[in-house]
Structure 1
Amino acid sequence: MMPTTPRLRALTFDLDDTLWDNQGVMSRTEAGHYAWLDDQLAAWLAQHPGEHRRFSDVISIERYQAHRQQLARQNPLRRGDFTWIRERALVELLEAFGLSRTSAWLWAALTMPRFHAWRLQVSPYPEVEPLLQSLTRQYRLAAITNGNLAFHRLDLSRHFEVIIAAGEMPAPKPDARPFLATLGRLGAKPAETLHVGDSWKEDVLPAIRLGMHAAWIAPHAEPDPTLPEGVHQLSHVRELPALLAKLGR
C-alpha cells in the first residue's frame, strides 16, 4: 500500500516581491528619507554662523548605499538586520560629514522613523487581501521576511498567526532557523507546509531542504519542467489557489 501524502495544513509567505512589488517602494523610501535628512540637517546647520554645507554635497546617496554594503560584509551576523546596518551607516557617514558622535546618533535616530514610514507605503496586489482571507479558512498562515518592514502595523498582517522578521533573529533566509521557528510556532510539520516566495536562493531552496513544499513566484522565468519534486513555479501569487486545487490539498 502506497503511503498517503500529508494534507497541507500551513502556508508560509515571503512578503517583498511576493505579495507586492517592492522595487518602487524601496526607490521611494531610499530617496525620501535621504532627502528628509539632507533638508533638515541643512536647516539646522544654517543656524550656526558659517555653516552652509549640505550633507548631499559631501555624502552622495550612492556612497550611503555602498557604505551599507560594506557594513554588511564586515558584520556577517548582522547582514540581514537592515535597520541596524542603515542606522549604523548613517551614524558613521554623519561623523565623516563632520558631526560629533552625539549629534550623528541623534540625527540617525531622527531619520530612521522617516525611513520606516516610507517603508510602510506598500501596495499589495489587488488579489492579495481576498486571497489571504480565503486561505485562512483552511490553512494556518505565517510570514517569513528578510525585510525590515514593520509588517505588524499593516492591516494585512491580521491574516497571519506568525510573523518572523528573519534578519533581526539574526538569521536571515536562506538560514533554516526562521523556517524552523515558524513551523514550531504553527505546530506544523515540513511535509504539511507550503512556502510561497520569489527568491530561489532565499525561499525555495531552504524550504525544500527542510522537506517543505514550495511555490516559486517567478514572473520573468521561463517554465522549467525540471524543477525538483515539491517545487511549483507560478508567475504571480494569484495563481496559488489553482495550485492548491491541483494538489488536492
Structure 2
Amino acid sequence: MTIRAVTFDLFDTLVDLFVETTPKAEWGGRVVPRSVVDLHARVSRHVSLEPEDFLDHLRRVDRRFRNSHYAEGREVSSDLRFGALVERLGIDSPALREDLVATHMGALRGQVGLLAHHVDVVAELGRRARVAVCSNFSHSQTALSVLAESELDQHLHAIVISEDVGIRKPRREIFEAALEAVGAAPSETLHVGDNLEADVRGASELGLRTAWITRRIPDPDQALGDFQGPSPDWCIADLAELLDIVPPASSSVS
C-alpha cells in the first residue's frame, strides 16, 4: 500500500540529544549534571537545602511519578514535575516552578544537535507524503522551539507531543492522535524512531509500518536480538534512506 504519511520521533531521530556530553560539576561530594547545581541555586533563594537533601527531594518526586504516571504510560509534564518539587519543599512560588522548568529545558536544549541534511530530507518527504512529529517529551514548547530553530517545522504538517496528549509512546493513543492530525490510516503510515519499545512496538501494534533508525544505537544487532517485540519493517542508519522507502507522489500532498 502507498505510504501517505510519515511520522517521526524527535530526539535521536530528527535531531540528536547528546546527553553524554552534558556539562558536569563536582557538587556535594559527587559529580552531577551542571543543571542540577543551577536548579539547587534557584531553590536556595527560597529555602536553605544541603545538596544531598535537594537530590533526595528530587528523587522522591521522580519516584512518585514513576509509580503513578510512567508505569501507566502517562506523561509527566515538566511543569507538573517541578511544581511537585516546589510544593514538596513548602515554597509558595509559581514563578520558581517556571524558573526551574526554564533552567532544566535550557540545559537540555544546549545538548541538541542537527545533521544539516535532515532538513532537506524532511522537506522532500513533505512533497511525497504528509509528515508529522509524534514524540515523547515533557515540555511541548521546548520541542516546538527545537523544531523552529532547526527549521524542520516549516516542512511538517502536524506536531504531536506527549505532554499535550497526556500519553506516552508506546501507548496507542498518541499514535492515534498523530494519525488523526495527518488524516491517514495506520496501514498507509510509516513511523520512524530510534526506540524499539516506544517507536517500533508502539507503532507496529497499531498497524503502522516502522523504520528503526540506528545512527545513535551503539550495537544495533545486539539491541534487535535482545528485543522481544515486532521487528521493524526497515532498519536505517540515516534518514536519507527514507527517500528510497517513500516513493515520490504522483501529485502534491495538500
Q: TM-score, normalised by structure 2?
A: 0.74
3-state SS in 2 of match to 1:137: helix
Contact 2:9 2:135 in 1 (8 A): yes
Structure 1 residues 69 and 158 mapped into 2: Cα distance closer, same or farther (>3 Å)?
farther
3-state SS in 1 of match to 2:96: helix
Contact 1:64 1:89 in 2 (8 A): no
3-state SS in 1 of match to 2:235: strand
Contact 2:42 2:96 in 1 (8 A): no
Per the alignment, residue 111 of structure 1 pairs with 100
In 2: Cα distance, 1:215 partner to 1:63 partner: 39
In 2: Cα distance, 1:129 partner to 1:193 partner: 20
Letter of the 1:39 partner, please give it.
A
Structure 1 residues 232 and 39 mapped into 2: Cα distance closer, same or farther (>3 Å)?
same
Per the alignment, residue 37 of structure 1 pairs with 39
3-state SS in 2 of match to 1:91: helix
Letter of the 1:152 partner, please give it.
L
Structure 1 residues 59 and 107 mapped into 2: Cα distance closer, same or farther (>3 Å)?
same
Per the alignment, residue 196 of structure 2 pairs with 200
Q: Unpaired segments of 5 or more residues in structure 1?
A: 1-5, 46-50
Contact 1:174 1:203 in 2 (8 A): yes
CA-to-aligned-CA distance 1:35-77 (integer Å, 9 cap, x gap): 22333444x36xxxxx8x55525323x7624531332213456
Structure 1 residues 142 and 158 mapped into 2: Cα distance closer, same or farther (>3 Å)?
same
CA-to-aligned-CA distance 1:141-187 (integer Å, 9 cap, x gap): 01011113522222322221111112432111111111112111211
Letter of the 1:18 partner, please give it.
T
Structure 1 residues 78 and 173 mapped into 2: Cα distance closer, same or farther (>3 Å)?
closer
RMSD: 3.2
Task: Quote how far apart the aligned CAs of 1:233 are.
Answer: 1.3
After the TM superposition, which residues 74-223 of structure 1 pair with which residues of structure 2 at under 5 Å, given as runs?
74-75=68-69, 79-92=74-87, 95=89, 100-103=90-93, 105-121=94-110, 122-149=112-139, 150-153=142-145, 154=148, 155-218=151-214, 219=217, 220-222=219-221
In 2: Cα distance, 1:243 partner to 1:69 partner: 41
After the TM superposition, which residues 225-236 of structure 1 pair with which residues of structure 2 at under 5 Å, given as runs?
231-236=233-238
Aligned residue pairs total 226
Per the alignment, residue 24 of structure 1 pairs with 19
Contact 1:194 1:214 in 2 (8 A): yes
* 2:3 counterpart (4, 8, 19): 8
Task: Quote how far apart the aligned CAs of 1:229 are.
Answer: 7.4
3-state SS in 2 of match to 1:202: helix
In 2: Cα distance, 1:140 partner to 1:55 partner: 51
After the TM superposition, which residues 64-75 of structure 1 pair with which residues of structure 2 at under 5 Å, given as runs?
64-65=58-59, 67-75=61-69
Contact 1:41 1:55 in 2 (8 A): no
| Percentage of pairs with the same residue | 24
Task: Quote how far apart the aligned CAs of 1:137 are.
Answer: 1.4
3-state SS in 2 of match to 1:173: coil
Structure 1 residues 85 and 208 mapped into 2: Cα distance closer, same or farther (>3 Å)?
same
3-state SS in 1 of match to 2:221: coil
Larger Rg: 1
Letter of the 1:15 partner, please give it.
L
Contact 2:73 2:169 in 1 (8 A): no
Per the alignment, residue 28 of structure 2 pairs with none
Contact 2:170 2:197 in 1 (8 A): yes
Structure 1 residues 133 and 57 mapped into 2: Cα distance closer, same or farther (>3 Å)?
same
Per the alignment, residue 3 of structure 1 pairs with none
In 2: Cα distance, 1:79 partner to 1:68 partner: 13
